[in-house]
Structure 1
Amino acid sequence: MSLLEVITKASADLKSQSSESNFPIILNSDPILLNLMPQINQDNKGALVRRVNGWKVSKTDTKVIDSDQQFLKKLQRQMKNPSKFGKTELMVTLKSFLETNCQNLGISHPLATSDEGRTRNLIEKLEFSIGREVKCAITEACIMLEIWDLLETLIVSRLVQYPSSTHLVSSLIENNKSDLLCLCIEHISDLQASDILCILKYFLNPTKAAYTSLEIVRKEWESQSLIAISKANLEKKREEKLGLACEAAILLMIAHDEFSDSELCLHYILASPNIDEVILSSCVSKLNGEEIMRFVKYMKKWLNKYDRFPEASPCPIASSELGLTLCQWVPKLKDILKCLNLVVDEHFLSLVLHTEFHDELVSLKGIVESLSGEARLCCSIAHVIKKLKSKDEGMN
């Protein structure tokens, strides 16, 4: 049998199997491996490889697996009868399942002021014990019932995975949940190219109904910008050397000022480490003329910012040390240039033949030349410093 036939057969067998795994969670390997013993008999005494026996899943893992499967069957049964299934029923069922897992694993129940807060805390604490099928079912239930606060917890806890994420993205766009779409880009690593394209198009042309959720995104950027400025001022009052807080304040300031609410959402797409050049190129190629113009104007704002504030530089460490998580989601200059290059490559004829693009391209050329000049100067200075350092080391 050829390799292609083996792969085709394996793929067909996989599709024919039930989606529910016998081991839906990550098993604790220590007790399993310690109990494995090699089989010794007359036939394999001289063999280099021997079979082992003693495979046994621990009682704790077995209880968690049984709990997962029972909850999954119950939830799927409830979802088939939507007329009798609402938010209350979901929260009661989910809370009972999570508390059972707490007992099985010997984990103390987290305290919270409300049942909903308690459920969210339990989800965050027990993420490792929730099987893939269960995660998908909970996500589908939240989408069906439009329980956005619980859905936010699932996204942030990284419980949403493909294929649930595809249905999730389309539902969030339909319900104008811009803030949750930003969280999807942040926390869902397996978003498909089609999902990213839909999100990009939505951010480039948001509906009027999206105003409320876009305002939530802006307030988050405003809040972290003010926190960074406050920390930088504190450094100044103490007459300390201006360091990380000042860098973060400059970075968040240029990322927030003069950008519209929907453009703040575009930051996440360009800064995402999960969206590579191939995916971005595919998405950019499918934009229409109006979307291209808006995207080019957005990138022009960024180039102007980096030209006016050359001291602005990435400071991802501010996320962990100062709690300014948005510093990770500010596009770097190389991200902007890479994306602009993709737009020109994919839509060169449109950009050349349509006069409305000419003014934008001419102004972009001036900004890029200015940035290139600064880059060449910085490279020259860096080269001189390197030479001086090498000579100094040689003299010593």
Structure 2
Amino acid sequence: MTLLEVIKDASLPEVKDESSSSLVEPLIGWPISQTDAEIIDINKKFLTQLKAKLKNSNNLDKGEFISSLNSYLENIEGKLGIVIGVDSSRSGYTRILIDKLGVFIGKDVASLVLDENVSLEIWEMVRALIVNSIIEHSCYSNLVTKYFLTPSKDAYNSMVTMKKKCECQALLAIEKASDRNLKRKNLLMAKEASIMLMMAYDGFSVSDICLHYLIASSNINDVMLSPSFRKLNDKELINLIHYLAKWLKKYERFPQAGPCPKEACDWVPKLEDVIKCLGLVLDENFSSLVLHPQFHEELRSMKDWLVV
């Protein structure tokens, strides 16, 4: 075989066998190493086991989940022939394993592990997955949405801080709007800001106010929001729809409210943001939501905004 033929063969992948369960298809002339193959096999087996356990019990016990995760990571450690050198009884043992071995966690495994950590409210593990770049950015909006729709007790204090910040901004805007010494243009701008900030503060819970930032963010688009909404449970979806209904009522009550150029208003959802978000929620989840009486109540409250 000539050198040209060797290079050509090595650069062309084999025809993919759809019946194969392998996560990686080797190139001709470039075989997968034994260690890589074993790591892939560990990921496949753990993914299958975790899916089976979640299917049978919906949510694992926290201790059982951590034990399974530790065993999986220890298997990877053994195959790599390295020693982390940390006692398994030590606090933060699992986090340390993730820090050291996270790069070997498969994408599908990481997504499932993230979901279960969120369900069990193991925030230390969630942080480790994010800090080590183990989960993809597409997971973030789902994580943030769940966090604000069903917040943990530990999150409450930080959310209260955000509401106080919102209150201070609203009061400052109202104070400026009352200043007769301002030029007409600045006075109108201050009044617009005071209306928007007052709307964003009044009648919203601490977790609602944090949710404002997600809905209003220019970094979040439909491609990210749609899959995140699909992962919400019925209670979280109803909470989200109730939150969006509040905004529709606000804009109905204050029709003069509109986009404000003030930087302080960047985190306040515009009417089009709210309508877009509501449309995505209904498009993705209407068939399941229609079975809930509370959903019908929310629809009735928004009847003037919905086109049948």
TM class by shorter chain equals 0.5 to 0.7
1:208 to 153, 159, 170: 153
2:178 corresponds to which residue? 233
Aligned residues: 204
Q: Is the 8 A contact 1:302 1:336 kept in 2?
A: yes
Corresponding letter in the other structure for 2:195: I
- Rounded to whole Å, the distance in 1 between the matches of 2:12 and 2:267 is 42
1:306 to 251, 267, 272: 251
2:281 to 339, 343, 349: 343
- Rounded to whole Å, the distance in 2 between the matches of 1:363 and 1:337 is 14
- Rounded to whole Å, the distance in 2 between the matches of 1:243 and 1:214 is 31
SS at 2:218 equivalent: coil
Following TM superposition, by how much is the alpha carbon of 1:195 offset from its aligned partner in structure 2, in angstroms?
A: 2.0
1:374 corresponds to which residue? none
1:389 corresponds to which residue? none
Name the larger-Rg structure. Answer: 1
1:334 corresponds to which residue? 272
Q: Is the 8 A contact 2:234 2:289 kept in 1?
A: no
Q: Is the 8 A contact 1:307 1:367 kept in 2?
A: no
SS at 1:274 equivalent: coil
Q: Is the 8 A contact 1:281 1:346 kept in 2?
A: yes
1:192 to 137, 140, 143: 137
Following TM superposition, by how much is the alpha carbon of 1:278 offset from its aligned partner in structure 2, in angstroms?
A: 1.1
Q: Is the 8 A contact 2:247 2:274 kept in 1?
A: yes
1:278 corresponds to which residue? 223
2:167 corresponds to which residue? 222
2:77 corresponds to which residue? none
Following TM superposition, by how much is the alpha carbon of 1:258 offset from its aligned partner in structure 2, in angstroms?
A: 0.5
Moved over 6 A (4+): none
- Higher RCO (CA < 8 A, seq sep 6+): 2
Within the alignment, does 1:294 sit opposite 2:239 as a pair? Answer: yes
- Per the alignment, do residues 349 and 208 of structure 1 end up closer, same or farther by CA in structure 2, a change over 3 Å counting? same
- Rounded to whole Å, the distance in 2 between the matches of 1:231 and 1:238 is 8
Following TM superposition, by how much is the alpha carbon of 1:210 offset from its aligned partner in structure 2, in angstroms?
A: 2.0
CA RMSD of aligned residues (A): 3.8
Kindly report which structure 2 residues correspond to 1:1-396, keeping only aligned pairs within 5 A, or say none. Answer: 174=122, 192-234=137-179, 236=180, 240=184, 242-315=187-260, 317-319=261-263, 324=264, 327-368=265-306
Corresponding letter in the other structure for 1:366: D
Q: Is the 8 A contact 2:159 2:206 kept in 1?
A: yes
- Rounded to whole Å, the distance in 1 between the matches of 2:272 and 2:218 is 13
TM-score, normalised to structure 1, is: 0.44
- Per the alignment, do residues 191 and 237 of structure 1 end up closer, same or farther by CA in structure 2, a change over 3 Å counting? farther
Corresponding letter in the other structure for 1:336: V
- Rounded to whole Å, the distance in 1 between the matches of 2:157 and 2:191 is 31
Q: Structure 2: where are the runs of 5+ without partners? A: 1-7, 14-24, 34-83, 87-94, 100-113
Query: What is the CA deviation profile of residues 68-104 of structure 1, one whole-angstrom value per residue up to 9, with x for unaligned ones?
Result: xxxxxxxxxxxx999xxxxxxxxxxxxxxxxxxxxxx
Corresponding letter in the other structure for 1:305: K
Corresponding letter in the other structure for 1:216: T
TM-score, normalised to structure 2, is: 0.56
- Per the alignment, do residues 311 and 288 of structure 1 end up closer, same or farther by CA in structure 2, a change over 3 Å counting? same
Corresponding letter in the other structure for 1:309: F
Q: Is the 8 A contact 1:224 1:252 kept in 2?
A: yes
- Per the alignment, do residues 231 and 195 of structure 1 end up closer, same or farther by CA in structure 2, a change over 3 Å counting? same
Following TM superposition, by how much is the alpha carbon of 1:298 offset from its aligned partner in structure 2, in angstroms?
A: 0.1
- Rounded to whole Å, the distance in 2 between the matches of 1:191 and 1:288 is 21
- Rounded to whole Å, the distance in 2 between the matches of 1:218 and 1:356 is 27
- Per the alignment, do residues 347 and 238 of structure 1 end up closer, same or farther by CA in structure 2, a change over 3 Å counting? closer
- Per the alignment, do residues 245 and 4 of structure 1 end up closer, same or farther by CA in structure 2, a change over 3 Å counting? farther
User: Percent of counterpart pairs with the same letter?
Assistant: 43
- Rounded to whole Å, the distance in 2 between the matches of 1:356 and 1:226 is 35
Following TM superposition, by how much is the alpha carbon of 1:4 offset from its aligned partner in structure 2, in angstroms?
A: 7.6
- Per the alignment, do residues 239 and 268 of structure 1 end up closer, same or farther by CA in structure 2, a change over 3 Å counting? closer
Corresponding letter in the other structure for 2:239: R
- Per the alignment, do residues 233 and 357 of structure 1 end up closer, same or farther by CA in structure 2, a change over 3 Å counting? same
Following TM superposition, by how much is the alpha carbon of 1:237 offset from its aligned partner in structure 2, in angstroms?
A: 5.1
- Rounded to whole Å, the distance in 1 between the matches of 2:159 and 2:136 is 21
Q: Structure 1: where are the runs of 5+ without partners? A: 17-79, 83-139, 145-166, 185-189, 370-396
Following TM superposition, by how much is the alpha carbon of 1:196 offset from its aligned partner in structure 2, in angstroms?
A: 1.7
Following TM superposition, by how much is the alpha carbon of 1:306 offset from its aligned partner in structure 2, in angstroms?
A: 0.7
- Higher mean alpha-carbon deviation, 252-261 vs 222-231, is at 222-231
SS at 2:219 equivalent: coil
- Per the alignment, do residues 353 and 238 of structure 1 end up closer, same or farther by CA in structure 2, a change over 3 Å counting? closer
